[in-house]
């Protein structure tokens, strides 16, 4: 009966193939675990031939990923929802706040978003005196070793977080994944990430999430602290954390109040 009703709906649709693809996407978005072709077919009341063709297309376009015999939604829909113009509006609100932050702590700062297994720097503010560590806009950075990467994954709902872990650590063992999840849990409990660099001596990174209306991290605002050895005074980690917290709270509040994205 359900199949006949949906066939009737297809006849009244100007784009039946699109309807089938959207049915699959909407259903997978509601599932915490992957589904086989047979399970998808049974839930939608469609034959395997229809499901097979639609899934191949969705996998090819990276909306769905095939792990073994199961299919799961990717984060592409989430990423698309944060493309232009939303990203432009985020930058419009963020840049003045970032300028003030850099002036207050005398360190550079940057804004990063998640992008299919890596993170992309979309804005970067240099230190007031032009000296210190900073990242170039457009740089793509590994997720797992960095404070901002921890933030971008820790502050996500379960399904999206799981997908991002798979994308970011494709070769990791189960033990490594569980260890990484423990790190993300600690970051979520603390509200931010603060770690020593695994790549540069003397570098310490502090990163806070920019939260959307649902409490998920849409971006990470990060300050890399490079210790001076010439005796010049500089802001402490605690002072940077306090200033960074104020900055992200201000930006997140603007977003929640509808003044931005």
Please check whether residues 40 and 143 belong to one and the same domain.
no
**Which of 40, 56, 74 is where one domain is finished?**
74
Please check whether residues 97 and 120 belong to one and the same domain.
yes
Please check whether residues 69 and 164 belong to one and the same domain.
no
Asked if 110 and 124 count as a contact pair (C-beta separation under 8 A), the reply is yes
Please check whether residues 151 and 175 belong to one and the same domain.
yes
What dihedral do alpha carbons 158, 208, 75, 9 form, nearest 10°?
Answer: 70
Report the pLDDT value the prediction gives residue 79, as an integer from 0 to 100: 64
From residue 109, give the alpha-carbon distance in Å to each of 1, 39, 164, 189. Answer: 59, 47, 24, 23
Residue 186 lies in a domain: yes
Range of the domain at 228: 80-256
Please check whether residues 186 and 144 belong to one and the same domain.
yes
Residue 261 lies in a domain: no
Please check whether residues 84 and 67 belong to one and the same domain.
no
Please check whether residues 227 and 121 belong to one and the same domain.
yes
* Distance between CA atoms of residues 244 and 89, nearest Å: 20
DSSP element (H, E) containing 22: helix 16-29
**Which of 18, 48, 74 is where one domain is finished?**
74
Please check whether residues 101 and 26 belong to one and the same domain.
no
Count structural domains, the chain.
Answer: 2
Report the pLDDT value the prediction gives residue 112, as an integer from 0 to 100: 93
Residue with tokens 């985020």: 90
The string of pLDDT tens digits covering residues 133-174 is: 777 888 888 998 999 999 999 999 888 899 899 999 998 999
Q: Which residues in the chain come in under a pLDDT of 50?
A: 1-9, 85, 259-261
* Distance between CA atoms of residues 193 and 112, nearest Å: 14
SS3 85: coil
SS3 114: strand
**Which of 74, 105, 123 is where one domain is finished?**
74
Residue with tokens 């994205």: 261
Please check whether residues 133 and 230 belong to one and the same domain.
yes
Q: What is the pTM of this model?
A: 0.66
Please check whether residues 153 and 28 belong to one and the same domain.
no
Residue with tokens 């306090």: 242
CATH number at residue 40: 1.10.10.10
Please check whether residues 203 and 135 belong to one and the same domain.
yes
Torsion sign across C-alpha atoms 14, 15, 16, 18: negative
Residue with tokens 């849409």: 218
Please check whether residues 147 and 190 belong to one and the same domain.
yes
CATH number at residue 249: 3.30.450.40
Q: State yes or no: cis peptide before 24, omega within 30 of 0.
A: no
Report the pLDDT value the prediction gives residue 223, as an integer from 0 to 100: 94
């Amino acid at each position: 009966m359900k199949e006949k009703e949906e066939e009737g709906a297809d006849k009244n649709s100007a784009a039946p193939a699109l309807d089938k693809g959207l049915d699959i996407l909407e259903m997978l978005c509601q599932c915490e675990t992957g589904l086989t072709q047979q399970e998808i077919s049974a839930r939608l009341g469609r034959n395997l031939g229809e499901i097979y063709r639609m899934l191949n297309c969705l996998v090819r376009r990276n909306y769905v990923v095939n792990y073994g015999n199961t299919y799961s939604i990717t984060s592409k829909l989430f990423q698309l929802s944060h493309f232009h113009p939303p990203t432009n509006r985020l930058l419009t609100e963020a840049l003045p706040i970032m300028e003030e932050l850099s002036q207050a702590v005398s360190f550079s700062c940057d804004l990063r978003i998640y992008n299919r297994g890596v993170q992309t720097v979309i804005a970067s503010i240099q230190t007031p005196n032009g000296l210190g560590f900073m990242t170039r806009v457009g740089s793509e950075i590994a997720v797992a070793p960095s404070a901002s990467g921890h933030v971008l994954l820790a502050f996500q709902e379960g399904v999206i977080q799981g997908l991002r872990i798979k994308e970011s650590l494709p070769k990791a063992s189960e033990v490594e994944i569980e260890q990484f999840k423990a790190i993300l849990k600690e970051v979520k409990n603390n509200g931010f990430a603060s770690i020593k660099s695994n790549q540069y001596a003397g570098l310490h990174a502090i990163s806070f999430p920019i939260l959307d209306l649902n409490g998920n991290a849409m971006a990470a605002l990060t300050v890399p602290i490079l210790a001076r050895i010439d005796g010049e005074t500089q802001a402490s980690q605690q002072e940077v954390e306090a200033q960074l917290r104020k900055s992200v709270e201000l930006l997140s509040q603007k977003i929640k109040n509808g003044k931005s994205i």
